[in-house]
Amino acid sequence: MLKELVARLRQGHRTIAYPAGPAVLPDRFRGRPELVRSRCPADCSACAAACPTGALSCTAGGPALDLGRCLFCADCAAACPHEALHFGSGHRLAAWTRDELVLRDDGRPAVRPANDARLRLFRRSLKLRQVSAGGCNACEADVNVLGTVSYDLGRFGIQIVASPRHADGLLVTGPVPENMKLALEKTYRALPPPRVVIAVGTCAISGGPFAGHREVCGGAGGVVPVDLWVPGCPPHPLTILDGLLGLRSG
């Protein structure tokens, strides 16, 4: 026992300071995309042609990037001959409405305080039931990371629970294939009202690379009403955490 106590003392404090302190991200992290409209000629669509999911569109009004369909692969940035698009280091990507995920200039989506009385009930405590609806386990893994000592999601009063009967909300990952549709509907109905739904990851928002396939429902929004959208493929744990904290500030 003495050896264990000494080892624990040597380890020190492992939990990150965020949100009280700055967000520490790796150098290779691909965060919020930045569009420079002044560099984008009207007759060029090289970036849109390179996008594997059709997240980019080029019109006379300038480029538009849908983060809800973006895989953050950066193929568009590599294909742009005018350097009008690049991926920055911003981790704050979550949005309260689906439309906020569409970037048309240098702005960024952000969780806005919601004028919703039900969210006030979750300011001190928020229990979530996580449903993996056909995901590849990348988004699921980053959600699980939030429960480790490094992030310690529980210090904010947020917990992942085992039963929808014990949950305040639903956290959905994956493109929601047809064989998971009924399970997701039943889980949602099992949540006691009032309830919230959070779509985490590009697949859960739009279907991701599987969008338009007859065997998928186009993400969580095609089955249940979504309150919070957290884009990314997968989203960084800090992106998910920032969205959850923004949701609770409603």
Q: Is residue 102 part of a domain?
A: no
Instruction: Write down the pLDDT at residue 11.
Output: 75
Domain of 176 in residue numbering reads as: 117-248
Instruction: Write down the pLDDT at residue 112.
Output: 57
Last residue of a domain, one of 54, 71, 90: 90
Residue with structure tokens 């998910």? 240
Q: Which CATH number belongs to the domain containing residue 67 in this structure?
A: 3.30.70.3270
- Count the domains in the chain: 2
Is residue 199 scored above 60 in pLDDT?
A: yes
Q: Is residue 55 part of a domain?
A: yes
Regarding whether 236 and 187 lie in a shared domain, the answer is yes
Distance CA 245, CA 202 (A): 20
Q: Is residue 60 part of a domain?
A: yes
Q: Is residue 106 part of a domain?
A: no
Regarding whether 188 and 83 lie in a shared domain, the answer is no
Local confidence band at 9 (pLDDT 50, 70, 90 cut-offs): confident
Contact present, 68 and 100 (Cβ < 8 Å): no
Regarding whether 147 and 59 lie in a shared domain, the answer is no
Q: Is residue 123 part of a domain?
A: yes
- Section 75-98 average pLDDT: 88
Closest CA to 241 of 68, 21, 69, 76: 21
Instruction: Write down the pLDDT at residue 2.
Output: 85
> How far is residue 221 from each of residues 22, 123, 176, 189, measured CA to CA in Å?
32, 24, 9, 15
> 208 in helix, strand or coil?
helix
Regarding whether 151 and 69 lie in a shared domain, the answer is no
Regarding whether 121 and 58 lie in a shared domain, the answer is no
Q: Is residue 146 part of a domain?
A: yes
The number of C-alpha atoms within 13 Å of 63 and in the hemisphere containing its C-beta is 33
Is residue 250 scored above 60 in pLDDT?
A: no
**Average pLDDT of every residue of the chain:** 88
SS (H, E, C) 108-142: CCCCCCCCCHHHHHHCCCEEEEEEECCCCCHHHHH
Beta strands in the chain (DSSP E): 33-35, 56-59, 62-66, 85-87, 102-103, 126-132, 158-161, 169-173, 196-200, 228-230
Q: Is 158 exposed, middle or buried (0-12, 13-18, 19+ CB in 10 A)?
A: buried
Regarding whether 132 and 61 lie in a shared domain, the answer is no
Q: Is residue 147 part of a domain?
A: yes
Regarding whether 127 and 72 lie in a shared domain, the answer is no
Q: Tokens for 25, please give them.
A: 């991200």
- Section 193-204 average pLDDT: 94
Amino acid at 161: V
The number of C-alpha atoms within 13 Å of 240 and in the hemisphere containing its C-beta is 29
**Using one digit for the tens of pLDDT, what is the confidence trace for 20-46?**
899 989 889 999 998 887 787 777 888
**Using one digit for the tens of pLDDT, what is the confidence trace for 47-77?**
888 899 988 887 766 778 999 999 999 998 8
Local confidence band at 240 (pLDDT 50, 70, 90 cut-offs): very high
> 177 in helix, strand or coil?
strand
Local confidence band at 124 (pLDDT 50, 70, 90 cut-offs): confident
| Pick from 2-11, 108-117, 207-216, 233-242: least confident | 108-117
**Using one digit for the tens of pLDDT, what is the confidence trace for 130-148?**
999 999 999 999 999 999 9
The radius of gyration of the chain's CA atoms, rounded to the nearest angstrom, is 19
Last residue of a domain, one of 73, 90, 107: 90
- Section 156-181 average pLDDT: 95
Closest CA to 29 of 98, 82, 89, 72: 89
Regarding whether 132 and 84 lie in a shared domain, the answer is no
Regarding whether 158 and 64 lie in a shared domain, the answer is no
Regarding whether 123 and 199 lie in a shared domain, the answer is yes
Q: Which CATH number belongs to the domain containing residue 233 in this structure?
A: 3.40.50.12280
- Section 144-153 average pLDDT: 93
> How far is residue 212 from each of residues 15, 67, 68, 73, 235, measured CA to CA in Å?
41, 17, 14, 20, 22
